[in-house]
Structure 1
């Protein structure tokens, strides 16, 4: 979800205004996903690199997380959506962690759609944490390195209980993954749009899905 800052700058507004507009785009997309047949939607909300931004902006983002994203739990729950998280989100302040855990517990019974939010997430960090877990299992004798499989790695990723990634959408005209789902993107289809995230809506999501529907997926075969 890229382009909040540029959206605000083009309108001579503070960056916070762009992030607030981005929250509205999240609302639109989450509402539009189930009618399109999307069963799992992952949103890259806060990266491991975002913490390097100015303290004021990081605080603003945390404020939005507290007061806007979590305020959507009533709607998510009533619409049958289950909230799940990936990333090192437990490193956040205790009050944020407590709210996130409460939101996940409240929606755990829902099955219409999974909304996965990547918080304090980075693909390289995820892989490093998975390797550390494997290392501990090898050191304890629980895993024989000679018998390691791809499935053993995937079982230790943040996305272990989630389905494979079909489509990755990148907004704002940038054409890179930016450390998002690096392992999972191995055979994902990529869709790039010049639209800034605050302008993204149901029509844009539908356009991305139609683009995906026209792809031929061979997964390395013929």
Structure 2
């Protein structure tokens, strides 16, 4: 995909977050969360995502989860890095590592499941 196409799509996403989507989420009482590596997005889009998440965080009716630049493998690797750092810092020992601990460090943990 060409850079111009990506820029166009990112612009549409940001416009939607600022205008229509944000209004719909608020009107319909929908919480919005974004999972994935948003650090690779343009700063203004990343900031718009953070604003919408903050604005809708207490909306209880539905929870819309949008995966942007998300990879399950990347998520697992990042969780492993965070857990490794906890071991290195002496906060946990390797024997503490289990499914529950790994799950707590995955991005999906941020998403409350029904």
User: Does the 8 Å CA contact 1:83/1:117 hold for their aligned counterparts?
Assistant: yes
Contact 1:70 1:100 (8 Å CA) reproduced: no
1:137-176 equivalent positions in 2, closer than 5 A: 137-163=86-112
Counterpart Cα distance in 2 of 1:161 and 1:122: 15
TM-score of the superposed pair, with normalisation by structure 2: 0.89
Counterpart check, 1:134 vs 2:80: no
Give 2:67's aligned residue: 118
Alpha-carbon shift at residue 58 of structure 1 (Å)? 1.2
CA RMSD of superposed structures (Å): 1.7
CA-CA distance at 1:68 after TM superposition: 2.5
Q: Are 1:102 and 2:102 matched, yes or no? A: no
Q: Which residue of 2 aligns with 1:62?
A: 10
Q: Which runs of 4+ in 1 moved over 6 A?
A: none
Secondary structure at the counterpart of residue 68 of structure 1? helix
Contact 2:34 2:67 in 1 (8 A): yes
In 2, distance between residues paired with 1:150 and 1:144?
15
Are the equivalent residues in 2 in contact too, given 1:84–1:116 (CA < 8 A)? yes
TM-score under structure 1 normalisation?
0.48
Match of 1:14 in 2: none
More helix by share: 2
Secondary structure of 1:125's counterpart equals: helix
Per-residue CA deviation, residues 61-99 of structure 1 (Å, 9 max, x unaligned), is: 211211224431111111010011111113322211111
The size of the alignment, in residue pairs, is: 113
Instruction: Mark the runs of 5 or more structure 1 residues left unpaired by the alignment.
Output: 1-52, 166-222
Q: Cα distance 1:128–1:70, how it changes in 2: closer, same or farther (>3 A)?
A: farther
- Residue 163 of structure 1: how far off its partner (Å): 4.2
Tell me if structure 2 keeps the 8 A contact 1:82–1:109: yes
Alpha-carbon contact 1:130-1:157 (below 8 Å) kept: yes
Query: Is the Cα contact below 8 Å between 1:86 and 1:159 reproduced in 2?
Result: yes
Give 5+ residue unaligned stretches, structure 2.
none
